[in-house]
Amino acid sequence: DLRKLGDDIAIIYGEFAMIQNKRFRYVPPSEEVVIEGNYENLHQLLIILMDNALKYTKDEGDIELSITSNKDKGIIRVSDNGVGIKEENLNKVFTRFFREDKARNRNNGGTGLGLSIAKWITDCHGGTISAQRRKEGGTIIEVQLPKENRNRNGKPKDME
Ligand code: ATP
């Protein structure tokens, strides 16, 4: 259930954001969002996205984690009002060892591997991950994961 995952992450990052004087908002889904996947790996994926959101915002950092769903997909969105990613690099950031100049110049010791691991975890779940620029400045990373295709009795839904 992505709601349980979001709740767990929100507890951790609510604290981290407070320590760094940043604002953090969590928008949970209104009902459970069940996907077929590995909890530990998806937890790691969210840690990568949340760490980046904190790392690439300054003191007035505003970070939001939201989880929603549509008919087929669970949707995780992490947005921030930080330095942003250049338009031409929006796809490249998922490549191993890629770091933007702004990030390279910062003394935060990143390796450029985080988002490639996030993409790998997403791919393993049959999902998609993308980066967008916020109009107001900052970044949105969106992950879409296919919902579980089974009923409570274990039958695939398309066999109903
Ligand atoms: P690490 O591997 O330690 O996470 P990293 O943050 O450099 O290091 P990635 O997470 O792969 O590596 O991110 C790749 C690059 O994408 C970053 O160097 C940075 O330029 C850019 N980036 C990622 N997330 C954000 C964000 N939320 N805001 C702005 N730039 C970002």
Helix (H) or strand (E) holding 81: none
pLDDT, the chain, mean: 91
pLDDT digits (tens, 9 = 90+) for 29-47: 999 999 999 999 999 999 9
Q: Which residue has the higher pLDDT, 53 or 100?
A: 53
Q: Closest by alpha carbon to 55, among 99, 96, 116?
A: 99
What is the pTM for the complete model shown? 0.92
Grade residue 5 by pLDDT with cuts at 50, 70 and 90. very high
114 Cβ inside 6 Å of ligand 1:
yes
The rounded Å distance from CA 103 to ligand 1 centre is 7
For residue 93, how far is its CA from the centre of ligand 1 (angstroms)?
7
Give the pLDDT score at 150.
63
pLDDT, tens digit (0-9, with 9 covering 90-100), for 68-109: 999 999 999 999 999 999 999 999 999 999 998 755 555 666
Identity of the amino acid at 136? E
Distance CA 56, CA 106 (A): 9
